[in-house]
A and B are shown apart, each in its own frame.
Chain A
Amino acid sequence: MAKTGMERLKELEKEIYKCIHCKACRFAYSGEPSRDGIGEFTGKQGTILYEGMIDACPAGIEYGWEAFWNAGKMWIARSILSGDLEFSEEVRDVILPCITCGQCSAQCENKIPTVDIIESLRAALIESGVPMIEKHELVDRLVKELNNPYGGKAEERFKWAKDAGLGKFVNNKDAKVGYYVGCTASYRQIEVAIATAKLFEKLGINFTLIEEEVCCGSPFFRIGAVETAQELMRKNLENFKDLEMVYFSCAGCYRTITIDYPKWMAEGEKLPFKTLHAFELITTLIQKEKIKFKANKELKGKVITYHDPCHTGRHFAVDMEQEMIKKSKNLMFDMRKVNKMIDEWFDKPRVILNKLEEDVGLKFNEMYRIKMNSMCCGAGGGVRAGYPDFSIRTASLRCDEANAVGADFLLTECPFCWRNLDDANNLYNHGMQVKGVLQLIIEYNLLDILEKPTEADVLG
C-alpha cells in the first residue's frame, strides 16, 4: 500500500524539526565566504560577484519573503505538523514556486532532506483538497489522457526515431538494453534523443526503445500529484521489466526511476533493471580508452562550460548521503567515504569534458557554482509549467554565469535543462549555443571508436 503525502511528511517529522533556521541553505558555498572566484560580472539579470558565498535559492531570490527560502518552508512544514497552520491556497502558492533543486539540502549541516520534505508537503497539500494551480491541473489531465504532459500523441512518441532512420530500434525484442527517452526528448528536444540513439548505434549497442514507454512521472512526484505519478510508475515498471539495463538521456527521468521509484514501490520490491545515464557509459569508455574524440577545426578554441543538472548531480549526491546516514553505524568515519563517492560522481561528466578539451581543442571553463553548489536552470519542480516567468529568469541567471566564463557552448545532460536554458539564451540574448554533451559529440562527428564496448561495459 503506497504511503500518503501526509504519512510521508510525518515520517520526516524529525528531519523537519532539525531545522534551526540558520539560513545557510540560501547560499551556494555557504561555508566558504572567502572562496576565490571569477570576480564581478554584469549580465542580463544584473551584477553578481562570483566569489565567496552567493544567494542560490531561486525561489528566495525571486520572491524575497522568508517563506520562499528553504528555511521558511521547513518552518511551514513544521507548523502544518504542529497544527499551527492549515493547508490553504496561501500555503500552496508559497510552497509550489520552488524548483526543488536541492541547493538547500547540499548546504545543510544537519543533513535535512529538504527536497523530500517539500515534495511530501506538496503531496499532503493536494490530498487535503487544496486544488492544484491551473497549469498543473492541465499537465495532470494531459498525462492521464495521453501518458505525457505535452499533449503529444502516443503513436508519435518515437516519430523522431523513425524519421532519423533509427526505427529498427523501436520494440527491438532481442535487446537486453533499453533507452528510456522521456517525454521532453521525445516530443520537444528530439536532438537529444537522436544524438543518444545514434551514439548507441555507433557504439554497436543493441538497444530497444519501448513503444509503450510513458512519462516517468517526475513532474507529478514534484508537484504533489503522487497518485498520478505512481500510476505512471506502475506502467513503466511493467513495460521495462524484461530488460537488464535501462539508459537515460534525461536527468529527471533518470533520477525519478532510479531514486523515486524504489521509495514509492511496495516494501521489498526492487527495480527489475539496472539504470545508467548515457554519459556514464561514455565516461567509462573514455576511462577504458575504448573511445576518444576527433580534432575539429570549427570547434578549436571555442569555450565550453557545463551545467550540472540538479537531477543527475546534487540529487544523486544527496541520495548517496542519505543512504549512508541510514546504513552507517559510525557516520563520523563513513561520511568521509560518501564525500569521496560524491566527488567521484561529479567528476564523471567532467571526464568527458576534459577529454573534449584534450582531443578536440575546445577550452573547458567551469562556471563559479558547480557540482554540489551548482545553480539550478529553473525548469524543475513543476516551476517551468507553473511559473514560467520565474523559471526563465532563473535560467537567465544561469546563462549569465556561463557568459561570465566566456562560454560559446553551454552544455548539459538533461533535455529539460537544455530547453529552459536555451529559451533564456534566446529570450535574453545571451549569445551562446546550448547543447547536450552527447549532442555536441554526435553533431560535430567527434566520436572516435578505438574498441567497441563489450556487453559487460554496456550492462554495467
Chain B
Amino acid sequence: MSYKLPDDKDLDAMIGIVGKEYATNNKAITASYLSKSVMGLESQIPDIVVRPKYVEEIRKILLYCSAEKIGVSPISAGLSGGFACPTIKPAGVMLDLGRMNRIIEVDTENRYVVVEPGVTIGELWAYMHKNYPEWAPPVPDGAPPASTVMGDAIDRGFSLYTSSVGPQGDNFMCGEIVFPNGDIVRTGSWALPFAKPFYKYGLGPDIWSFLMGSQGALGVMTKVAVKIYPHPKFKTVVVWGMSNPQDMQDLTLEIGKQEFGIAHNTVMVQGGNYPLVMTRWPKDKVPHDYEFYEQLGISKWWMNWECWAQTQEELDYVVNRINEMAEDFKKNRAKDPDSIKPQELHPKQIASRLKKPNKIAVPYSFWEAGFLFITFYTPWNECAHFAEMYNAAMEKYGFPPVMWIASIERCRQAICMPIICFDSTKQSDFEKVQELNRETTEYALKQGWLNYRPDPYVHAPLTYSQAGMYWKYLRTLKKIFDPNMIMHPGRLALP
C-alpha cells in the first residue's frame, strides 16, 4: 500500500473540520506524541495531530483521509490503546481523542457505565467513588490512572475483575464505532435505536468481538458501555510464597478450579518473582542477590489473591479456604513443600495493594532507562513453562528475569508478562530486545501461546504467518469498513 504524506492543504482540511485550535503540524507538538516504551518501540512522529471533540468530526476526518489515502492512527489518552499504540510508519494523521472525555451514563440497575475514549481510569474511579461508592468499574491494576477505560477495553487487557469474571474484553457490552467509509455503527443491543447497552451479542453475529484487540486498526471507537460491579467493603489480600513457578501455577490452579464460592471472590489473582520488587529501583542502588529479599520476607515466587466479599463471614470463608488448600497442596503435592509458606502482610501493605488504580507498573524505568512489557496468553497450566523459558531467555540476553503472571477467568488463561528492563539510550539494547522478542515469539507460537498485544514488526507478522486463513478474513472484513486501508496502517500487519 502507498499512502499520501499529508501537506498543508490536508492540514487546512483538518482545521476546517475541527477548528484551528485543534489541528496542527507543529513539529514540537507532533514530536511530543512519541512513545517508544512499555508496549512497543516502533513509534513515529505523526505528520498532523488532530483533537476532535465530536463523532461527526471524526466521521468527516476519516472520510477525507480515506479519499486522500492518508493513514490515520487513533489514540485515546492513556497507555493502552493510547500512547502504547502510537503512530507507526507511514505516520499520517494522529487522532488524539483526549477531548472526548465524557462519562455519559451510569446505570446501576443494569450495571454499566457509558464513556468516551478520553475518560481515564483515574477519573472514572474517582467519579464512581464520589457518586456511586457501592459500584466500581473494571480498572486495570498497575496501569497509571491516566490510562483510559476504552484503551484497556480494545486491548482486552487485564483489570481488577478479570481473574474472577473473565477477559477485560468481556467487561464491555456495546460500542459505537466510526469506520473510514463514513458509517457509524453501534454494536450489540445498541444497534437498535432505543435499546440500552445491556447485551453485547445483540443482533445475530457479533461485530463488537471483531473489533476487540484491533488496536485502532479497524475504526475509531467513540463510546463504550462498560460493566460495573459491586464494590464491597470487605476486602483483603492473601499471599503464598514458593520457590518455583511450577508450585505457583499448580496451587493457583487448584484454587481457581473451585470456581463457585472461592474463585469468584478472588477478583484479582496475580503473582511473580522477586525481581519484580528489585527492578523497581535503580540497578546500582539495590542489592541483586536473593538473600537480601529473603531477609525481607519475600519468596522467590509468590501469588496474591485479592479477595472481595459482601460480609466479613464470606471473606473469612474465602481466606480460610485458600489457606486450607495451600496447606493441603504443600503437604501432598508441592514440588518444593518447604518453600511454600504464607506471606504475612502488614496492614499498610494490604491497604497499598488494595488501592485502585495505582502506579505499580510504572517504575520499571527506574532500573535503567526504559522498559517493555511483552505479554502473552497461555493456558493457565502452561504458565510455569512460559516463565521458565522466558526468564532463561531474558538472562541469556543480559536482562533481569522479571516475570508477572495473572489469572484470567479463574485460571482458564494466564496473562504472562515478562518485563524487559533495559537502557533505551543504547541502540545495542534496543536491538537485543528485538532479538529476544523474535526468539521468544517463535518459541511461544510453537507452543500455541498468543500475544496479548501483537507488535507490528515481530508478533503480528510471525503470528499471522501461521494463521493465514484467519488473516485472509481479517483483511477481507477490514476492507469492507476501510476500503483504502487507512486505519492505523501497519499496526496489525493489516494491510
A residues lining the B interface (CB < 8 Å)? 13-15, 17-24, 26-27, 30-34, 49, 51-53, 64-67, 71-73, 75-76, 78-79, 84-85, 88, 90-91, 93-95, 109-111, 325, 328-332
Q: In the assembly, what is the distance between CA of A51 and CA of B45, in Å?
A: 35
Q: Is the CB of A79 within 8 A of B31?
A: yes
Residues in B neighbouring A21, C-beta threshold 8 A? 34-35, 37-38, 79, 83
- Taking a contact as CB atoms closer than 8 A, the residue among B98, B129, B424 that contacts A34 in the complex is B129
- Taking a contact as CB atoms closer than 8 A, the residue among A23, A24, A33, A66 that contacts B29 in the complex is A66
Q: Does B144 contact A (CB under 8 A)?
A: yes
Q: In the assembly, what is the distance between CA of A94 and CA of B32, in Å?
A: 10
Q: Is the CB of A20 within 8 A of B371?
A: yes
B residues lining the A interface (CB < 8 Å)? 24, 26-29, 31-35, 37-38, 45, 49, 51, 77-79, 83, 96, 98-99, 121-123, 125-126, 129-130, 144-147, 281-282, 285-287, 355-359, 362-363, 365-366, 368-371, 423-425
Q: Is the CB of A110 within 8 A of B365?
A: yes
Q: Is the CB of A22 within 8 A of B282?
A: no
Q: Is the CB of B362 within 8 A of A20?
A: yes
**What 10 A-B pairs come out closest when comparing CB atoms?**
A52-B126, A72-B32, A67-B32, A23-B146, A18-B365, A17-B369, A109-B362, A331-B285, A109-B363, A22-B144
Residues in B neighbouring A33, C-beta threshold 8 A? 121-123, 125-126, 129, 145, 356-357
Residues in A neighbouring B51, C-beta threshold 8 A? 64-65
- Taking a contact as CB atoms closer than 8 A, the residue among B96, B122, B359 that contacts A109 in the complex is B359
In chain B, what residue has the closest Cβ to A329?
B285
Q: Is the CB of A91 within 8 A of B34?
A: no
Given A76-B28, A90-B26, the answer on whether A30 and B365 have CB atoms closer than 8 Å is no
Q: In the assembly, what is the distance between CA of A64 and CA of B365, in Å?
A: 26
- Taking a contact as CB atoms closer than 8 A, the residue among B27, B33, B34, B145 that contacts A30 in the complex is B145
A-B pair number, CB within 8 angstroms:
173
Q: Is the CB of B145 within 8 A of A88?
A: no
Residues in B neighbouring A94, C-beta threshold 8 A? 26, 28-29, 32
Residues in A neighbouring B29, C-beta threshold 8 A? 65-67, 72, 90, 94
Q: Is the CB of A20 within 8 A of B38?
A: yes
Q: Is the CB of B28 within 8 A of A75?
A: no
Given A17-B369, A20-B35, A33-B126, the answer on whether A85 and B28 have CB atoms closer than 8 Å is yes
Q: In the assembly, what is the distance between CA of A75 and CA of B370, in Å?
A: 13
Residues in B neighbouring A90, C-beta threshold 8 A? 26-29
Distance in Å from the Cβ of A86 to the closest Cβ of chain B?
8
Q: In the assembly, what is the distance between CA of A71 and CA of B236, in Å?
A: 34
Q: Is the CB of B369 within 8 A of A18?
A: yes
Q: In the assembly, what is the distance between CA of A429 and CA of B259, in Å?
A: 61
Distance in Å from the Cβ of B36 to the closest Cβ of chain A?
8
- Taking a contact as CB atoms closer than 8 A, the residue among A17, A30, A32, A85 that contacts B144 in the complex is A30
Distance in Å from the Cβ of B277 to the closest Cβ of chain A?
8
Given A30-B145, A66-B29, A90-B28, the answer on whether A22 and B362 have CB atoms closer than 8 Å is yes
Residues in B neighbouring A32, C-beta threshold 8 A? 355
Q: In the assembly, what is the distance between CA of A31 and CA of B360, in Å?
A: 9
In chain A, what residue has the closest Cβ to B77?
A23
Q: Is the CB of A332 within 8 A of B286?
A: yes
Residues in B neighbouring A13, C-beta threshold 8 A? 369, 425
Residues in B neighbouring A19, C-beta threshold 8 A? 37, 365
Residues in A neighbouring B24, C-beta threshold 8 A? 65
Residues in B neighbouring A23, C-beta threshold 8 A? 77-79, 83, 144, 146
Residues in A neighbouring B130, C-beta threshold 8 A? 49, 51-52
Q: Is the CB of B28 within 8 A of A14?
A: no
